[in-house]
Chains A and B, each alone.
Chain A
Amino acid sequence: MCHVKTQDFKKASKKAVKDPKLQATLKRVMHHFDDARRDAIEEVTPQRWEELRQQGRKIKEHTLDNLDYYLEMLSERVSQAGGVVHFARDAKEATSIVAELVRSRSVKTVVKSKSMVSEEINLNHVLADIGVEALETDLGEYIIQLSEEAPFHIIAPAMHKTKEDVSDLFSKKLGTPHIERIDDLAAVARQSLREKFLKAEMGITGANFLVAETGTLVIVTNEGNGRLCTSAPRIHVAISGMEKIVPSLEDLPVFLRLLPRAATGQRITSYVSFINGPRRPQDEDGPEEFHLIITDNGRSRLLRDPELREALYCIRCGACLNICPIYRNVGGHAYGWVYPGPIGAVVSPIMVGLNKAKDLPNASSLCGACRDVCPIKIDIPHMLLNLRSKLMESPDPQERKRSLEDRVFAWAFLTLMHSPRMLALGHALGRILQRPFLRSGRIRRIPIPPFSVWTKSRDLPPLAKKSFHRIWEEELSQEE
């Protein structure tokens, strides 16, 4: 369920900031993942963590710089293992591949494990349209599927829901009585999905990593739904972005140490599953067919631009979301598409169109916290600045468009900074204009916007009598 609403970011974030329930929930839960991440890093020691980050980045750099080579190797090896590899350039192609597989194999029920790509391509809607029951099995995804919402967070899609919300939702959609304990809510999901796992003809998953050398799909999970989706149904379809590749099996330790810690503070998740094609004839169980759909859907645009290529190193841990002061205040829905937070602010504009998401690169104070916590050392602020200048230099007037406020301030800044005399004049004028607003030597409140917004919760010091420039000229530069 992911219609593009990136153009509503300003409106949606204003609404989010004013929503008392959302703010209370964010305040209560937002720090958990980040605290856990910090503890996990302490445990391996910060030096070791730094080593891992560098190793991880190096592997991704090499792989993405040679993506063609590794895609070819991966495809060959998966085919050798008995799997079928399909390539999809865009969402339409990807969904029609799944639809064709579903149709030709007479699939009635699909169980889905977490896949962000499947949200990009709106797979659930397409499947519903052709009369297939497609159930999300990851508890968070299951909840938002029932409530028909977009995911709120990459790792915890239903983070914004209280247990009361979930209990009400289950009552409404499943007919269960009011449930007090979170354990019991999880048990409802276990119960209602168990029979679906066993009856579904097809399991659809994403991929955390694809190992080129051995044609291996790696899925990192906690709940057991990933294992069930890849063990019970007779057909397994994995949909992955093309950037998930790592060259060798022996590259995995680095990423298996980085991902769980950065995402949830775990040393490792309950399950890590490695899939090499369909079952072998002598296996006791397992899918008879394995399909891997490798998707572009706009990633080649990121790949093509050397300034933006590193956005493809992302391992989807969510650490940047958890630390971002913007995300922590507005939450995931305001970002309007599959990927929220700092990484979303980079990839969404490129994937859905810069003109549809021009507020996203500006949804940042460039504090750099995201870059500091990223396990792959992705320089998100650098890319946000790059996107901002792309917007300013765009041939499309819509993309270049800035508010009147922005333009006035840009003009004023340019004029003042253009010449020392203009600046001195501005300073002198400012010292006169500030007088009516001084209270006990500080500027407490200026009722004219946008100064009114700035002074609502902060005081400003007054402009000094003499600029440093003058003090220097008059006093400090003199030799004693």
Chain B
Amino acid sequence: MEKNMPLGTSKEEFIRGIQEVLGKKERRPVESYQRLRESLADLEERLKVMWERLEGMRSQLLGALVETAAKMGWNVHRASSIEEALSYIRGLMESKGVKRVVRSDQEIFAALPLDQPLAHMDIRVTVMAQNLAGTPEELREEAASADIGITGVDYAIAETGSVVVIPRQGLSRLVSLLPSIHLAILQPHQVLESLEDIFLLRRQAYLQDGDMGSYMNFITGPSRTADIEQTIVIGVHGPKEAHMLILE
């Protein structure tokens, strides 16, 4: 059986069936959807306006993010220098008894070099990147037994108190998921205002490249459930703790 052969009813038959059910003469909508009439140029124009708006409200956005993120279950820490950030990280490692760390391979770690300081604390740091540290199986093993996963973020959303992580080379899907603690490090210029902003960005990326990557996550606080007696339990299959470090 050819690997990518669709199974079931043929696409044409299924969709034609739906067209009949709807009693439509033509496939296209009579009135086309406004959003879908936009061109790449239109989106880029809107993005320009968006970035200008965000530039003008940086500290406000940061304040809103911090407030909402805390409400949504993040442990939020603001650091106004590299030293402060490193000291915070060292303190976190100590208080949680961390022995093994996995981290992504992202630009933020060039700005905030933590491999050496952690090595000095006898903490093993593995970079979850195949070109640097090992086979997928080995990396997965490492992530499954690590105490904490540290990543940068692509964006943060003030409206919801979320970080946006877009897995790709150097950024594994599992590094922020398998360990029971996730530390997300972000910088003020990454903060967006609302859900509209992030989807405009991703839409532009899609229209430009015809591809926006395989995956994206909004992460808002630790994992949780209320499935037993409607009582909220923090920490189910995903991390039990979510820490946000803002490097200002």
Contact = CB atoms under 8 A, between A and B. Distances in A.
Contact of A252 (B13, B173, B199, B215): B199
B85 interface: no
B225 A231 contact: no
A222 B206 CA distance: 27
B220 A268 contact: yes
A232 B227 contact: no
Given A68-B19, A101-B7, A224-B238, A286 B167 contact: yes
29 contacts: A68-B15, A81-B214, A86-B6, A87-B11, A88-B9, A94-B8, A96-B8, A140-B225, A156-B230, A157-B227, A161-B228, A163-B228, A186-B228, A222-B225, A248-B203, A267-B160, A268-B161, A268-B220, A270-B219, A270-B224, A277-B214, A282-B169, A284-B130, A284-B172, A285-B140, A286-B167, A289-B3, A303-B21, A304-B21
A194 to B, nearest CB: 7
B136 to A, nearest CB: 6
Contacts of A222: 223-225, 236
A355 B223 CA distance: 43
Contacts of A278: 214
Contacts of B36: 213, 247-248
A17 interface: no
Given A185-B228, A198-B144, A249-B202, A87 B8 contact: yes
Interface in A154-178: 156-159, 161-163, 166
Please name the 10 residue pairs, one residue from A and one from B, whose CB atoms are nearest each other, closest first: A224-B238, A140-B227, A253-B195, A224-B237, A231-B173, A284-B172, A87-B14, A224-B223, A68-B19, A223-B236
B233 A186 contact: yes
B242 to A, nearest CB: 8
A268 B159 CA distance: 10
Nearest to B195: A253
Interface string B44-77: 0000000000000000000000001001110000
A93 interface: yes
A231 B217 CA distance: 11
A139 B225 contact: yes
Interface string A46-78: 000000000000000010011111011001000
Contacts of A227: 173, 177, 217, 237-238
Interface of A: 28-29, 32-33, 62, 65-69, 71-72, 75, 80-81, 84-89, 93-94, 96-97, 100-101, 104, 137-140, 143, 156-159, 161-163, 166, 182-183, 185-187, 189-190, 193-194, 197-198, 213-214, 222-225, 227-228, 230-232, 242, 247-253, 256-257, 264, 267-280, 282-286, 289, 293-294, 296, 300, 303-304
A69 B19 CA distance: 8
**Most A CB atoms within 10 A — which of B212, B219, B226?**
B226
Interface in B1-51: 1, 3-11, 13-19, 21-22, 24, 27-29, 33, 35-36
Nearest to A213: B36
B230 to A, nearest CB: 4
Contacts of A253: 194-196, 199
Nearest to B104: A284
Given A87-B9, A276-B213, A284-B128, A270 B221 contact: yes
A268 B206 contact: no
Interface of B: 1, 3-11, 13-19, 21-22, 24, 27-29, 33, 35-36, 68, 71-73, 128-130, 136, 139-140, 144, 160-162, 167-174, 177, 194-196, 199-200, 202-203, 206, 210-231, 233, 235-239
A139 B238 CA distance: 12
Given A280-B168, A284-B170, A159 B230 contact: yes
Given A86-B7, A253-B194, A285 B15 contact: no
Nearest to A300: B21
B235 A186 contact: yes
Contacts of A33: 230
Secondary structure at the B interface, as helix, strand, loop or mixed, is: loop
Contact of A62 (B33, B216, B220, B223): B33
Nearest to B13: A87
- Most chain A CB atoms below 10 A, which of B172, B219, B230: B230
Nearest to B10: A87
B44 to A, nearest CB: 14
B6 A249 contact: no
A415 B72 CA distance: 62
B136 A285 contact: yes
A286 B160 CA distance: 26
Given A194-B237, A271-B238, A249 B203 contact: yes
Nearest to A276: B214
B159 to A, nearest CB: 8
Contacts of B210: 80
B227 A268 contact: no
A285 B172 contact: yes
Contacts of A223: 223-225, 236-238
Contacts of A163: 228-229, 231
A427 to B, nearest CB: 51
Contacts of B202: 214, 249, 274
Contact of A270 (B128, B174, B238): B238
